[in-house]
Amino acid sequence: MARLVAIGTAVPPYEIQQSEARAFAKELFSQSFHDIDRLLPIFDHTGIAKRSFSKPRSWFEQDHSLAEKNQAYIEMACHLGEKAIQRCLQQAGVEVTEIDHLIFVSTTGMATPSIDAHLVHRMGMSPHIKRTPIWGLGCAGGVVGLARAFEAAKAFPNHRVLLLTVECCGLTFRRNDLSKSNLVATSLFADGAAAVLVVGSEVDEYHSNGGPSMVGAMSTIFPHSLNVMGWEILDDGLKVIFSKDIPMLVRKNIQPLVVDFVQKHDLTLDDIDSYITHPGGRKVLEAYQEALGLSKEQLYYSYEVLKQYGNMSSVTILFVLAEELKQ
């Protein structure tokens, strides 16, 4: 078994209110949509009040090459990743040299050597540290990374496993993409990082820390789902792809999956007190409520993280988990 010891989070310095993002979108997308005023209420209906970005608003008003965007991603990913790791390890009372395995998750930029390698050098980690960079999981990456950390700590009970997720969604913005998908993305996505320390049963923190035990993980791949979320890689950057059917997919699929998972651990839905769900957007959270028969109050922290930070892709679920654990 493994135990979750601490979570550290970080966001970049440029905070933008949702009202400012709405005004920016109106100016930019009005040349593509003559009925732009009919579409702009999506900004008001997201449940988002503000978001943090790696660049100021003026940066988004200019064109940038893929190379320029990606260099900005590398620099900010290292900066945010270091801050999140420092905050996590400070909570746990663990030195960076004591980490045995670093798992890095991201989807919004590319680097070889990967960001985890940069951070090993930058932070003075052990030269013998194990590294597992994972790319391309999108919003699911936070949960998948946590599952891999759990499995690694279970397999090596004397190991400290550090999961780091970093997403700079804002840096993927393509100013000349005047599609409805990009308009919706402009209303939702943001930047951030989260680091989670998971330890095996033979590590001191396992016995001294009051964090939760991790007892299982399960993943499911839906058929015909490759077009639900992703990137189309173009000369000027990463073009966002996501389906309007995501809330419907949650309503249709999540309840039987959760039932199947908890039954494997001799539980029923009546035994579950709390759910930590990815706040992909207000409609996604409402779909979770409907599918699982939950009240809005039962997803309070998911709604609150969405309000204060927006959708940071893989990072967001770990912000929700951090808020839940504070209670």
Residues involved in catalysis: 139
∠ CA 109-39-170, nearest 5°, is 15
Q: If we measure between CA atoms, which residue out of 3, 327, 8 comes closest to residue 166?
A: 8
Q: If we measure between CA atoms, which residue out of 152, 160, 151, 85 comes closest to residue 118?
A: 85
Which amino acid, one-letter code, is at 183?
Answer: L
Cα separation, 327 vs 274, in Å, equals 12
Q: If we measure between CA atoms, which residue out of 252, 247, 244 comes closest to residue 277?
A: 247
Cα separation, 65 vs 244, in Å, equals 28
Q: If we measure between CA atoms, which residue out of 236, 234, 239, 191 comes closest to residue 64?
A: 236
**Burial group, residue 258, by CB count within 10 angstroms (0-12, 13-18, 19+):** middle
The two three-digit tokens of residue 127, written as one number: 């030269």
Helix and strand numbers, DSSP H then E, in the chain: 13, 10
The structure tokens 């001799």 sit at 266
Alpha helices (runs of H) in the chain, residue ranges in sequence order: 18-29, 36-39, 41-44, 57-60, 66-92, 115-123, 141-155, 180-188, 204-208, 246-263, 282-292, 300-309, 316-326
The torsion region of residue 136 among left (phi > 0), alpha (psi -120 to 50) and beta comes to left
Neighbours of 155 (CB within 10 A): 12
DSSP 224: T
